[in-house]
A and B are shown apart, each in its own frame.
Chain A
Amino acid sequence: MSVRLKGTDSAIMIRWIPKYTTVERFLHWVHTASFIPLALTGFVLFAPWLEPLAQGAAGVTIRLIHRIAAVFFGGVPIIYAILQPRRMVLNLKEFLTFSQYDLLWLKGAFPYYVLGRHEEMPPQPRFNTGERLTAIVLVLGTLIFGLTGLPMWFLKGVMPVWLFQLAVIIHDLMFIITFAMFMVHFYLAVVHPMMWQSLVSMRYGVVSESYARAHHAMWYYGEKRAKEMWEQHRREAGH
């Protein structure tokens, strides 16, 4: 894509690199559109001060919305596994691959994202350390939500009460973790000034070449080359 600058003859060429498939982007937004109502309706039973919304017909509606949204939320990974099983396995493998650079990333994350110092960030594959940790919690969270939610839905009164009680509290704990994580995800993806390309990538499936180079060097250059460049950068910086 080329952008012609106003009043001049020069143009900026941006090379776009595909990052997400159409299915992935579509499912991401289905996931969003189901997670938010799930969290909000769940919060009604979670926070005692929202009692009026939990009462009577309002409460019945809220519990119904929670169930409908849950079907979509649970459907996302299933549809993904059916439509693009190889992509799913590839992503899961990448989520679970960690290296020595991840500790460096975690160390550099606060100065980087909050203070804007990006020179110290180590090279990262297609998903950085934070994204991979988030993804792992999300995968486990989805499983746990399903494993506790479905029995509470269909086996209430059939399953032993201690198991139901355990399911309630685990469901709530998972909600606390995933909703806090969602807020951070929303902040970094939508609000944070440096991360404007994440919304672009979830809309059009692409990131710019310069973004890929700066944020995901191991993906852009390949692991070996990225590591060499990082070592060289460190030497030059006098480490």
Chain B
Amino acid sequence: MTERLAMYIDTSKCMACRGCQVACKQWNDRQGYVPGVRETHNVGTYENPLKLDPQTWTRIKFIEYDDGERFQWLFMKEGCMHCTNAACADVCPTGALKYGPYGIITFERELCNGCGYCSQFCPFHIPQLEVINRLTGEAKSSKCVFCQDRTTNGLKPACVKTCPAGALDWGDRDEMIAKAEARVEVLKNERGFPKANVYGKTQLGGLGRIYVLTAPPEVYGLPADPKYPAISTLWQKIVQPVGQAVFGATILGLVAAFFVARRNVHMEEVE
């Protein structure tokens, strides 16, 4: 089996410094504050930006959660999950998104034609389409690639390297799972988080992000059981092959019909 690497994300240790967001933008050359273009407005939350966008591949989500017993302020690092069964890579007609080494869903921007299927089929709504011109359809997809240029050369992703709280780690996926499970036991038994759990171990064939959560996944906006889009399977495994078979059969049928008709039709009788 080829080695599968994963990102370990311990939300209980995250202090929302957002150093990961900054490091991501720096390494991947994403825009931050651009006067007149990308500005920050206070809308009553520390969360910033308010959602992923083509320039923001990862961000810390702020969640205020009251479970009835106590109030928690939760921080969760959001970004591409690098699924084992990745709908985005399956629907991509260009091969810009593909299953790369170490289980990373890599992205080659110059191959992307901007169709945006990835953004519409991802169960986590992660890929962001940078629409350059709505009318002509010119666009580019954009998402976290686990710093493919770093990680395929033995380095850690920029966000992991910068995290000062020890909330992030990078390494062999099985080791990351073991680390997460051990951490969950500590949180449950010693730190008073009875609902602590590991997320990402089994979802969609196993995610490339292994989360340690202190509340149920839904609280973070993570689907407990994300579904691979059924329409993607129907589309690519049935409709496309059947369509090509229909076209082939029609052509063959017409060629055959032509030769039969040519033998049988007497042109002197044709009106």
- Interface of A toward B, CB cutoff 8 Å: 44-48, 51, 54-56, 58-60, 62-64, 67, 113-118, 153-154, 156-157, 161-162, 164-166, 168-169, 172-173, 175-176, 179-180, 183-184, 187, 191-194, 196-197, 208, 210-211, 213-215
Contacts and interface: CB of A to CB of B under 8 A. Distances in A.
Interface stretch (B31-39, B119-127, B162-170, B177-185): B119-127
B115 A172 contact: no
Contacts of B239: 169, 172-173, 176
Contacts of B93: 44-45, 48, 51, 54, 59
B157 interface: no
A55 B119 CA distance: 17
Interface in B212-264: 229, 231-232, 234-236, 239-240, 242-244, 246-247, 250-251, 254, 257-258, 260-262, 264
Nearest to B111: A55
Contact of B121 (A165, A172, A176, A180): A165
B129 to A, nearest CB: 6
A168 B271 contact: no
B154 to A, nearest CB: 29
Interface of B: 93-96, 110-117, 119-121, 125, 129, 131, 134-138, 229, 231-232, 234-236, 239-240, 242-244, 246-247, 250-251, 254, 257-258, 260-262, 264-267, 269-271
24 contacts: A46-B240, A48-B93, A55-B96, A55-B113, A56-B110, A60-B114, A60-B138, A64-B136, A64-B137, A115-B261, A161-B121, A164-B120, A168-B117, A168-B231, A168-B235, A169-B231, A172-B235, A176-B243, A183-B250, A192-B258, A193-B261, A194-B265, A194-B270, A214-B271
Given A56-B94, A176-B246, A193-B265, A48 B113 contact: no
- Identify the interface centre among B95, B120, B239, B247: most chain A CB within 10 Å of its CB: B120
Enumerate the 5 nearest inter-chain pairs by beta-carbon distance, A residue then B residue, closest first: A59-B113, A116-B264, A116-B265, A176-B243, A214-B271
Q: Is the interface of B mostly helix, strand, loop or mixed?
A: helix
A59 B115 contact: yes
A118 B271 CA distance: 11
Nearest to A44: B93
B111 A46 contact: no
Given A169-B231, A213-B271, 9 more contacts: A48-B236, A55-B95, A114-B257, A164-B120, A165-B121, A165-B229, A168-B117, A193-B261, A214-B271
Nearest to B270: A194
B129 A157 contact: yes
Given A60-B137, A179-B247, A191-B258, A156 B96 contact: no
B94 A54 contact: yes
Contact of A47 (B240, B258, B266): B240
A193 B247 contact: no
A113 B258 CA distance: 9
B250 A116 contact: no
A56 B111 contact: yes
Nearest to B264: A116
A165 B120 contact: yes
B257 A113 contact: yes
Nearest to B269: A118
A158 to B, nearest CB: 10
Contacts of B234: 169
Contacts of A63: 113-115, 136-137
Nearest to B122: A161
Nearest to A153: B137
Given A172-B240, A191-B258, A55 B121 contact: no
Given A165-B232, A169-B235, A180-B250, A192 B261 contact: yes
A211 B269 CA distance: 11
A56 B113 contact: yes
Contacts of B110: 56
- Identify the interface centre among B129, B134, B239: most chain A CB within 10 Å of its CB: B239
Contacts of A168: 117, 120, 231, 235
A183 B247 contact: yes
A62 B261 contact: no
Contacts of B267: 193
Contacts of B270: 193-194, 196
Contact of A187 (B136, B138, B254, B262): B254
Nearest to A155: B134
Given A172-B240, A172-B243, A60 B257 contact: no
B80 to A, nearest CB: 16
